[in-house]
Amino acid sequence: MSRLGIVFFLSCSLFGQGRIEVPFRFATPELPLALIEIRINNSKGLTAVLDTGQGIAPVLVNQAMARELGLVYSDSDRVAATFGIGSGPAPQVFKSKINDLRISGVSVGSVDAGVSAALGPIGAALGQSLAANLGYGFFKDYLLSLNYQTMKLTLSKESLAKGLPFVLGPKKPLAIVDARVNGQGPYRFVVDTGASSSAISRMLAERLMMPRGVPVPVMGAAGSSPAYMTKATMLEVAGRRFPEFTFATGDFLDRLGDAVGTRIDGVLGANAFRNLVLRIDYPKQRLSLENP
């Protein structure tokens, strides 16, 4: 476990050719957040997080970077409802626009954006600058594939022939899937590539009599929260079985269900995908976990 602990970050018409493949890297070996290089309005290469758990804006830009890039936004024009993991207040997000966004040398064109200071402390804790966060609004028209072995992101107009159906939260459009824990359930989990670890609600962990492990800080857009590690004897999701699966748990998930608009029992983060290929077909609302 790193000194940071665990990180939870929780429409554009893309690429005329309908498919793009982009390499990504991990923030650190201990924190497998998928990061890619982007360019905003002819900028130098900037680091962005791939975050399916972010439903606020297609692209969320670090406020300090937005100022440096000259993005236009107003303190009076804010996103009405925001949410962030952490014990502090929800982050403020100001509406803006990117005139030209480029990924792997391909121009996406003009993209709606949000500007927030929330990325600054997370980047500082990671020891690297995080310029932006790509969320649901960026991916929603595509089949997103993250190969955690080859470290490649693919966005395409293809469809999954098979897969686990998911629903989108009624208030925040995050993908929610059913999973079983210790043979019980189904329980409802948000699929969040912006979470370095999976998490389970404290109430569910206690109901399932899961063990209380080492304390760990959880860092999110609303600051840091105390938590502890726990372990399930078995997690079952999308046709996969994960024995001795670790979760973080604590009170930091208590407000997530209210923000998403439905009951949420936990979050599936990077440790559920680390050795697999995660595919999310947003138009068909199907998800799969496949061998590389």
Give me the domains of the chain, ranges plus CATH numbers.
6-156 (2.40.70.10), 164-290 (2.40.70.10)
Q: Does residue 221 carry a pLDDT above 90?
A: no
Q: Does residue 13 carry a pLDDT above 60?
A: no
Residue 234 pLDDT level (bands cut at 50, 70, 90): very high
Residue 58 pLDDT level (bands cut at 50, 70, 90): very high
Lowest mean pLDDT among 91-95, 189-193, 233-237: 91-95
The arithmetic mean of pLDDT across residues 249-275, rounded, is 90
For the record, the structure tokens of 10 come out as: 């929780």
Q: Does residue 11 carry a pLDDT above 50?
A: no
Q: Does residue 9 carry a pLDDT above 60?
A: no
Q: Return the pLDDT at 80.
A: 66
Above pLDDT 90, what percent of the chain?
64
Average predicted confidence (pLDDT) for the chain: 88
Cβ-based neighbours of 5, under 8 Å, separated by 6 or more: 216, 217, 218, 219, 227
Lowest mean pLDDT among 96-100, 124-128, 166-170, 260-264: 124-128
Beta-bridge partner residues of 180: 236
pLDDT tens by residue, 100-149: 999 978 888 899 999 998 888 888 877 888 999 999 999 999 999 999 99
CA 117/CA 241 separation, integer angstroms: 38
CA 237/CA 122 separation, integer angstroms: 29
Q: Does residue 222 carry a pLDDT above 80?
A: no
Whether the pTM exceeds 0.85: the reply is yes
Residue 1 pLDDT level (bands cut at 50, 70, 90): very low
For residues 222 and 89, is the Cβ–Cβ distance under 8 A? yes
Mean pLDDT: which of 25-34, 76-85, 197-206 is highest?
197-206
The arithmetic mean of pLDDT across residues 25-50, rounded, is 91
